[in-house]
Amino acid sequence: MSLKGRDFLTLSDFSADELWHILEKALEVEKNLNNFSGVLAGKFFALIFEKPSTRTRVSFEVAIRQLGGFPLTLNWVELQLGRGETVRDTAKTLERYVHGIIARVNEHKTLLELAKSAEIPVINALSNLYHPCQALADMLTVYKLKGRLKGLKLAWVGDGNNVCHSLLVACSKFGLDVSVATPKGYEPKKEVLEKALEEAKNSGSKIELTNNPEEAVKDADIVYTDTFVSMGKEAEKRKRLKVFLPNFQVTLKLFNHTKKDCVFMHCLPAKRGEEVTSEVIDGPRSVVWFQAENRLHLQRGLLTLIF
């Protein structure tokens, strides 16, 4: 199975077998990093960030260097993009210098335009709609912890945002059940839900939406949350905190309804006292640092296969 030369914009573009292949490659590279230290030799990568990043940026930079490649991290506003050069012209230029583009953008359509314009692969490092590298790394985390994916239940509590979208697609591909609890009006987008439901027909996943967090986390193996105020939504902060708090905060009390060995996951960055209490995120059920570590392992698997 070859993924060479493919864009990586959303998990829906890949079959379950292809996604498993990426997880397996990530595990293989982790076990024998020395065998892979030259796979990106002579290859250059443009990492373009339209918004801030710690984990995604650093894990990609480290992964590329560990595999022998050379990352160029570029801030959107310091490129001519910041002065209005078009995405297309930027893509046509970059493809003459580098072998791949990894981009974090405000609007998902910017990624589509990059991918359409450039002959080289484009990887989504987060858009308003999806965060596929995160969700796939999260599947790696869950697989390492639980030894399987199919039949587990992931409960999402909070905003039906980009991370929620990619997890919905990931879980429906790998056969995990998903229960999403959001306030009314903050549900995942209909188009994403439809994709996940379609996929669930093949994998056997059960997917449900609710406005009741206790109902969502009942018998869950994983409780997952993310900020109530994603990047770009800062102007809505006051309104959002009013809507989400206190009901959608992940607390120890909420964990009473889960399975005994249920773990807490968060893509980070986290706001303690908003979407989660310190007791939970800094407590024994939390796997957030292991999750952050697996971003690096996943990026290495992904880069090895695409390039």
Which residues would be at the binding site for ligand NVA (CB under 6 A)? 126, 161-163, 226-227, 230-231, 267
Nearer to ligand NVA, 72 or 231 (CB): 231
CA 20 to chain centre: 16
161 binding partner (options ligand NVA, ligand CP, none; Cβ < 5 to 8 Å by kind): ligand NVA
Contact between 202 and ligand CP (CB under 6 A)? no
User: Is there a cis peptide before residue 132, judged by omega within 30 degrees of 0?
Assistant: no
Q: Please answer whether residues 280 and 224 qualify as being in contact, where contact means their C-beta atoms are separated by less than 8 angstroms.
A: no
Residue 53 as a binder of ligand CP (CB under 6 A): the answer is: yes
- Distance of closest approach, residue 139 Cβ to ligand NVA, in angstroms: 16
Minimum distance of ligand NVA from residue 164's CB (angstroms): 8
Neighbour tally for 191: CB within 10 Å: 9
By annotation, the residues acting in catalysis are: 104, 131, 134, 226, 267, 295
* Dist CA 219 CA 214 (whole Å): 10
Of the pair 3, 287, the CB lying nearest ligand NVA is at 287
Residue nearer to ligand NVA on the CB measure, 50 or 177: 50
105's tokens: 């953008």
Q: Which lies closer to ligand CP via its Cβ, residue 135 or residue 152? A: 135
Task: Answer yes or no whether residue 268 interacts with ligand CP by CB under 6 A.
Answer: yes
Select 226 or 274, whichever has its Cβ closest to ligand NVA: 226
| Interatomic CA distance for residues 222 and 224, integer angstroms | 6
Q: How far apart are CA 252 and CA 272, in angstroms?
A: 13
Q: Is 166 in the site for ligand CP (CB under 6 A)?
A: no
Q: Smallest distance, Å, CB 239 to ligand NVA?
A: 17
Task: Give the one residue of 110, 117, 134, 166 binding ligand CP; rule: CB under 6 A.
Answer: 134
In sequence order, what are the residues at sequence separation of 6 or more whose Cβ sits closer than 8 angstroms to the Cβ of residue 87?
A: 81, 110, 113, 114, 117
Partner interacting with residue 230 (select from ligand CP, ligand NVA, none; CB below 5-8 Å by kind): ligand NVA
CA distance 168 to 149: 13
Distances (CA, A) of 79 to 49, 76, 93, 103, 173: 10, 5, 12, 13, 37
3-state secondary structure labels for all residues of 179-226: EEECCCCCCCCHHHHHHHHHHHHHHCCCEEEECCHHHHHCCCCEEEEC
Residue 54's binding partner among ligand CP, ligand NVA, none (Cβ under 5 to 8 angstroms by kind) is: ligand CP
Our finding on whether 54 is near ligand CP (CB under 6 A) is yes
Give me the residues that bind ligand CP (CB under 6 A), please.
Answer: 53-57, 126, 134, 267-269
